Each structure stands twice: as structure tokens, then as C-alpha cells.
Structure 1
């Protein structure tokens, strides 16, 4: 009797799950990539180069198709048209409900939060222009950092490239955010780099499964890496917040010196509790931290690849009874059939809809993750040949749509409905829905604030260019002719220090241990996840169950540590801050928080977004971009996109698609020159993203790359200590170069 009752209940649950999921009844869904596994989805199918796998699927399923990343239904865009169409939509601009984003950023900041926080992004964009884009400030910071980098070079000695570049990039951005840069050797710079790197660390296999299976992240947050990511994010925000508070005493209201001053001015002027700048919300640490995260994970990584040979030289129970065993087997079989039926009908609910083509072969839990291999972007591009530019895969438990063309990307990512972030445990616990990078689009207010103040600072003579030149000069000063230097470390220091100058108004001095801390933190946040981390990431239930094993705990810890670092620096500067006279991004954020009275705003003081947003400013080569998450049913590129679907822009695939580029693997810069030899823009170059979630610091990144690369190769020739570095890299949100050292010889 009990057996038949359970069977009946199973059938009822089976039918309910089937008809509940619109993906099984809507014929206009993108093509589905078959083979999604329970929990994994298509994660295992992505291999070591996911972008390549996604591009390969485009050949079969078209430029827009449906996959599963863990438990997330994910739409992948492989062409520029669909990307532009999708990502201009507010409905497609949220972030997926990942545990990391929700707990880590706490819905603050502008990178990890939903599009509701876009106010932060617009603020950052505006202030990037004011402080960096329209004048000489950014260039000055860049040149300072590059000079510092050069001074540290020892001719004939190898240097750790990533470490150096991370310091340089972070310090230049820090100058924009805080109005000063760290001196060479300042331990605070090391702290900042360490925090930012922890937040941007590449997740392992378990973390990836946990990320895309939120239930797993909730169940095992430590195992899936959610706890560590959230801590890393919090630490970074705390660091930024501390520096911002340190400068408040010297701040003059309405006279911002940097991004932080402008943020504080905005907070002080905000009375609307609904605004993200409402003082009680305190978005400042998050938004400033996310500026640093963005810089580290893009500019410094790009600089690493610039030095690759390819670019340089081609330019307790005992035994139980048999009856008990039989009973247990029956129960397991029943539960298994029930789960199988539920999963099947949940994923076929939209079968009558025009979903994108499905890539077959998704495995339970893994989805297509294993199929992605070591180069996921290439696999995704290969799938484009078979399934078209838009197709459906499974990343862990996530239904995922992959976009492999510019058209579908633009169409999708302009929509607010497709601009959220997935509900990953890392994002929820780490960022705690603060900041602008890992939160949903509801936090876009933070991004807009940063953009606005970047413009303001530059217009007012708080020059981003100056910060960059300072960092570059410092970099040059570190070079010892003929001695190898670690490229990664050097570039990380340079990039982070320049961004730190924007965020905090000063840069770290040479040898300051604080820059080492900053770089280490930033690198931990952006570290490449392993297979376990990836499986945990895309199976939130696994991340919840085993947060430590899946890397969630470590990522959360890294993110929180970065925020904590930033928060500490903010607090250090609060005593020197003058309201209404922002010296940097942090001052501007605090102004905005103090002026915000609307509790709904991300700038409401009690929310305290400041450490997260500033940390995310510190945290490219973005092969697939941070995933978007649909918050409603919507149609893009002729395909039905169900609510709660991941959307992946296969940036690498779009830029290596032979249907778009002739011999894409060849280094041919003349592609971008017109008949008269002038540079001509190509819409298929989408390294800074598209739509509502596009990079807020594009101009700063371009300035960093231009100033650093031109000054470097005008003065030095580059050689390698030992074997030339690999050109493959490790694939995550960005393609990370393997650590290597280079020898710089003055020309």
C-alpha cells in the first residue's frame, strides 16, 4: 500500500515539475545542446577550454543555443548580433542567484549584483570620465605606475609577470578610487593585491559545480568554495572601507579628489531610501572594491598575454539483513525514478516553445562541464557550427544559453530582464548582494555612480592618466636590466595600484607591503576555479552542502577580505575628507551615501555598499564574461528565453569565429585598419562586454593598456628566462596566463 502511495505521489510530483517549467512547453526556445547530466549539466563537456567547446556547438546548434550549467538553464550567445540584442535589455541584465553573490556582496556593488544596482555603475562611469577619461589624470597615474614598474626591472633577471602587472594595474586604479597610490614596497599594496586575487581566483571543479547548483552551495558552502569566496570579497571591501574612512577627515564636501570622495558626496546628498547611495545601505566599499576586481581580472591579465611569444614575436554500520537490503534498494530505486522524472519534465516543460537548439550529452550534476575540456571557449565555438550561434547547454544544474555571435549578444544583453547574476552561493554569501559586479542589476546604481564620477574626476583635474603614468614609471624603476622578473606579479601590482589611485586618491609606494596584500587578495578572488569548484559553482545545492570542498568558503573569504582591506583604507581617509570636495572615488561614494535618504537606494548608509563597490573596481580577456541571469520569460533572436536561465556570452568564440574573421588564429593587426591606415572599430570586438553589464571602466582599461604597452616596448626589449611561456592559459571568466618570468633589456 505504501509503495503504491509513494508511486502515486511520485507521478504527481513528476507531472507538476514538468508543467511548471516553461522550457518544456515553449517551442521558441533556442536549440538545446543534448547530454546534460544531473547536477553537472554540460559543465563536464566544456573541458579545459570552454569557449572553444561553445564555439564548436555553434556549428551544430546555431549562434544562440541552450545548455545547462549545473542546475542553471543557460543561453549561450556566439554572435555579435544576438549579444547586442540580448544584453541591451534590462530584463537580461541581472546576475544569477548564486550564493556567492548574495552572501558575499550582499546585493551591493555593481558587478555581482542585479541591474537594480546599476545606479552604482552609472556613478562609476560618470566619475571615471570626470577623474580619468577626459583629461590627463588617468594617463598620469598609468605613467607613474609604469615608471615604477620599469625602475624595478633588473636587466637579465626574470620577474613574475602576473605579480608585477597586478601591482601596477591595481595601484593605478587605486589612485583613481582613493586619490593616491601606494609606494613601491608598501605592505598595504601587497594586502590589496592578495585580496583582489582571492576574489578573482579561478574556481576549481568542485567550486564550479557548486556555483551552478545553488542548492549545493547552500548545503556545502565550505566544500564548494562559497565561504572562502565570500570571505575574500568581504576582506577586500573591508580593506577599501578602511582606506576610505582614513581619508574622510581630509575630505571637503562637493570637492571630490577621487572616486571615493565623489561616492561619499553622493551618499550625503541622497535622501531617497530606495537609492543604492542611501547612506544606510553603504554601497561604497563594495563598489570601490569591485572597481579594483574588474581592473585586476581584465587589464593585468591582458598585459600578461601581451608578453606571450605569440604576441611579441608575431607582434559505522554492521552488515544488515537481506530483507533490509531489499527494502533500501526499493526505496533508492523509487527515489531515483522520482528524481529522474522530475528532472526530465522540468527540463522539457518548454518543449513546445522555440527554445534554442539543445546540445545533447548533458550528464547528471555535471551537465556539459566535462565536455568543455581545457579550452571551454573553443568547444563552445565548435558547437556553434552544429547548433547555431545560440544554443542551450547545461552547466551543472543550470540551464544555460550560450551566445556565440555579436548580434544575439547585443540583443540579449541590452535587456534588464537578462542582466541579473545567477543565484550562486559565492555571490550571495561573498558579495552579499552589494557591489556592482556580482550582484543583480538592481545594484546598477553603483555602476552608474562610478562611471559618472570617473568622468567628473578627470574633468576636475584629478587625472587618471597621471595615476597610470606614476605606476608605469614605478614599474620601470623596479626593472633590473638582464634580470628576469615575475610578469604576473609585476603587472598585477602596477594595474591594481593605478586603480587604487582612482579609488582612494593615492597609490602605494614601492615596497609597501600593503600593495602585496591587495594584489594577493585580488588574485584570490579572480583565481581560476578547478573542476570541483566549477561543478560546485554550477550546482548551488552542492555548494550549500559542501561549501569548503567546492571552494565557496575560500572564495567568499577572499572577497570579504578584499572588501575588508578596502573598507579599512576608506576609514583611514575619512578624517581628512571634506564633504562635497571628493578627492577620489571613495570620497565621492561617501558624499553620495551621506546625501541618500531613500532606504531603497544602494547608497543608503545602512546598506554600506562602499567597500564592495570599491573592491570590485579593483577586481580582458573575458572569454565568456560573468554570466547573466534572466529574471523573466523573454524572447531574444527569435528564441524563447525562460525565466531563471543563465546566459553566457562566448567572447572568445565571437572573436575567433572563422565565419566572422579570416584566419582568426593569425596575428594580423591590419584587420583593424582602413585603406588609409587609420584604425577602424569592429563591432565584433566585444572584450568589454555589451549592454547593461558592459565594463564601466573601458576607457581606463584602454588607457592602461596603451600607455603601458607603448612605453614598455619603446624602452625595453623582452626575453625569457628559460622556456618560453605557454600561449594556452587557464580558462575562467578571463583566460589567465600561466605564471612566467621575463627579462627586460633597455634598448
Structure 2
């Protein structure tokens, strides 16, 4: 009888503690929905969580807490909230949470998921300085991108105006730019090593829907299909790291301090001087970050841009007329004439706003207890900026659901750079490859539109409202026709 009473009491205590922990929130913590035990609000998020969360702003405000699985995250749901947290108090909001799904893949290395601190600052400073030169003195950034644009257009011409899937061509092009930065050379599009590299990276982004569930509810990684997916991702990452290691060893065997050829050489040079944070494992995952982030984001943005061209032919005509007026039929684009190509830059900025590529950005976490907008957010709280909500805020944009490049031009037709377009996030952790990505988008779009008129496959206008579900909002696969322009 006494044992039975003890068991009943124990169960009661466990239930009471569970209920208390479920409803407990720290003092002055942002309000928000809790959902159900174990899963939180995940069942209510739908295919596009950022849009659901943006709708909750009317109930809970610009800064809210949202319970993903067993944990409360803080979501910054408009531009002002993001500015107050990530920019004005960037030192307090620039950490990376210790999420098992990311730790499994990066082992605490690289740059994207490295926590805020001395190591991250040194690695980021190195990356910014190295990428700024892009080519390490051998070739300038513009020369490398122009060279790859020529290869891309040659590949498109091979389609002879017939419908084809352009995603592989664009991915090859963008990845080869990264190859130029990292390895100091480009690869033929049919090279077995190069195609294997892209195949392994593709698999990483084809599983984003399930991967996001693992991010929200880490305990799912212990059960199928989560455990199977984690093991598959580990294998894919392992192959990438092995491939990169072979490249690094080859570089090391021919390294000369007075002849820095590329990113790997620059990093090896740092390793010879500073061995605490500049290590082989860190270099290998840094390279992986550059390839994964640099390839997927720019490739998907270009694919959205092409979709916009075929959905809005008048926009394509305006773009082409500006390009021919400024460059002629065969002139080469240059950043030195960007002020003369206002509509081109307005088009690119509108693509980035209209189809937000990373809607919830990457997760941040607080590095200390911090107060923002009257709320107290404890140390190590996960914080997510809702970039989609900013890009679709009716207080910032007239008819945000519509594609209108002209919204980024002033009364005189000049391009106006908008702080409200946050394609590269904000604050200390904004994208390290921002300048490279902007250069690629300008050169590749200009070069393609100069050479080709892009049309939909007859009777089949591709989907533009829907995209992939997960951390990256990429276009669904589609066919396109590239009609070569006759001069």
C-alpha cells in the first residue's frame, strides 16, 4: 500500500513539474503561442512557417516567443525589431545555438554555425579580407565571373532553343566561381569530381523539410526517418570533407608563401602563424560553408530571376533595352557602369524581396541576458529574424504580393538601395559572401538577358508562387526555353 502511494505521488509530482515547465516563462519574456506538449506549434505552421508566424504578429506583437518542440524561440517579426536586436545590440544577439542537427554535421567548425566569440571573429575577419580580393591577385572578381558567364552561355546555346531544365547549368556556373576562389581553378561541367561534389550538395538541400523538423524537435533524430536522414547527411558531408581534404593536401605540397593562389593557400598561410583557431578541420568545414551557402543561395536567386522574366515579359523587355542601350549587343558588363543600369539593379533587388530565399534566416541566440523593446530575453535563447515578414510588410511596401521592380526607382528613374530588403540578413552575422553574390547576380543576369530571350515551355508556365519547403525557399524544378537573340 505504501509503495502504491509512493508511485502515485511520484507520478503526480512528475505531471505537476511537467505542467509547470510547460506553462512557465521568465519574467517579461515576449508573449506567444505554446501549442501542444513535446511538439509545440509545429503542427500549426503549415508549409511556410514564416507566413504563419507573420500572421501571429497581430495577436502577439513584433517580438514574440514561439514554442518549437519543447523550447521557446524568440521571433523578430518586423524590420524595427530586427534592427533593435541584431544591429543595435548585435553583440548580444550574434550567437549560434548548440543545435544537435548542425553540430552533427559541422562538429563546431566552419563559419555559418560557429558560435559568437574570439574564434568566430578571427575566422570571419579572415574570410572578409580574403574574399574581398576574390582571386588572390591572380584574377579579379569581375574577370572570374565574366569568364564563367561565357561558359554558362555556351552551355545554354547547346540546347538549341528547346525546353530544358536550367538548374544544373546555373548550379555548375555558380559553383565554379566558388571553385575559382577556393581552389584557384574552374572545372569542366562534365568533370566527375565536380559533378559528384554538386550531387552531394544537392542532397543536402533536397531534405530541408525533414531537416527543419529536426531543428525544431531535435529528439526526432533518434527515431526513423529522422535518424536515417541524419546518418545520410553525415555520409554526404563526410564525402565532401574527404574531397576537400585531398585538395588541401595537394595545395599544402605545393604551397609557397610568396605565391598565394587562392583561399586555401591564404588559410594555410594563417595556419603557419596561428595554430589555435586556424586548424585543418576548421578549414575543411569553412570550405564546405562557402560551397553550400554560396552555391545554393545564388543559384536559387538566379532561378527565381529567370522565372520572373518569363512570367513578366515586359519586365524582361525593359531589362534587355537597358542592357543594349548601356552595353550594346556584345559589350561586357562592369560594376563601373552600375549607375547607368538602374533598372537592372531594381530588378535584382525586387527578385530578392519578392521571393525571400531564406525566410527565417539562420537561427541566432543570445550570448547574455539582454533587454530589447521592454522584453527580457535570457542568455542562450534562440532568436530568429523573420525576413519574409519584412519583405512582405504592407507598412513598408505597396502591394507587397506583387512583383514590381519599379518600386526600387526614384522619380528620376534612378535605383534606390533599400535597407528593407534583407536578403543577406543584418548585424554582425550578415552574409560574409554578400559582395561576391551581388557581383554574380549582376553579371550573370546581365549576360544571360543580353544573349537570350527566355520563354516558358509552350503551354506550361512554371509555378512561381510555390517553392521548396524548408530553410531555403527555392523554385520548384521547371523547364525553360532560351531563344538566342539575333544581332
Change (3 A) 1:124 1:99: same
Deviation at 1:18, TM superposition (A): 6.9
Q: Are positions 1:161 and 2:162 aligned together?
A: no
Indicate conservation of the 8 Å contact 1:295/1:701, yes or no: yes
Among 139, 151, 159, the residue aligned to 2:154: 151
Partner of 1:662: 398
Change (3 A) 1:264 1:634: same
1:298-697 superposed matches below 5 A: 298-309=297-308, 312-313=312-313, 315=315, 621-697=357-433
Partner of 2:438: 702
1:221-240 superposed matches below 5 A: 223=227, 225-240=229-244
1:707-718 superposed matches below 5 A: 707-718=443-454
For 2:251 and 2:312, how far apart are their aligned partners in 1? 42
1:275-286 superposed matches below 5 A: 276-277=277-278, 279=279, 282-286=281-285
Q: Are positions 1:244 and 2:245 aligned together?
A: no
Partner of 2:105: 104
Partner of 1:95: 96
5+ residue gaps, structure 1, are: 316-464, 467-619
Indicate conservation of the 8 Å contact 2:69/2:216, yes or no: yes
Deviation at 1:678, TM superposition (A): 2.5
Instruction: Say which structure is richer in helix.
Output: 2
Indicate conservation of the 8 Å contact 2:135/2:184, yes or no: no
Indicate conservation of the 8 Å contact 2:391/2:400, yes or no: yes
Change (3 A) 1:74 1:248: same
**SS where residue 146 of structure 2 aligns?**
helix
Among 461, 469, 476, the residue aligned to 1:731: 469
Partner of 1:545: none
Deviation at 1:259, TM superposition (A): 0.9
For 1:314 and 1:631, how far apart are their aligned partners in 2? 49
For 2:30 and 2:384, how far apart are their aligned partners in 1? 13
For 2:41 and 2:226, how far apart are their aligned partners in 1? 23
Indicate conservation of the 8 Å contact 2:365/2:380, yes or no: yes
For 1:306 and 1:240, how far apart are their aligned partners in 2? 31
Deviation at 1:124, TM superposition (A): 1.1
Partner of 2:58: 59
5+ residue gaps, structure 2, are: 316-332, 335-355
Indicate conservation of the 8 Å contact 1:70/1:209, yes or no: no
Partner of 1:445: none
Change (3 A) 1:705 1:222: same
Indicate conservation of the 8 Å contact 2:97/2:364, yes or no: yes
Deviation at 1:208, TM superposition (A): 3.3
For 2:367 and 2:431, how far apart are their aligned partners in 1? 21
For 1:68 and 1:692, how far apart are their aligned partners in 2? 26
Change (3 A) 1:133 1:740: farther
Question: Normalized against structure 2, the TM-score is what?
Answer: 0.83
Partner of 2:479: 741
Indicate conservation of the 8 Å contact 1:100/1:230, yes or no: no
Deviation at 1:189, TM superposition (A): 1.5
For 2:411 and 2:383, how far apart are their aligned partners in 1? 37
Deviation at 1:17, TM superposition (A): 6.0
For 1:313 and 1:202, how far apart are their aligned partners in 2? 33
For 1:18 and 1:632, how far apart are their aligned partners in 2? 27
Partner of 1:120: 123
Change (3 A) 1:730 1:717: same
Change (3 A) 1:269 1:128: same
Indicate conservation of the 8 Å contact 2:101/2:214, yes or no: no
For 2:314 and 2:381, how far apart are their aligned partners in 1? 41
Q: Are positions 1:181 and 2:180 aligned together?
A: no
Change (3 A) 1:268 1:651: same
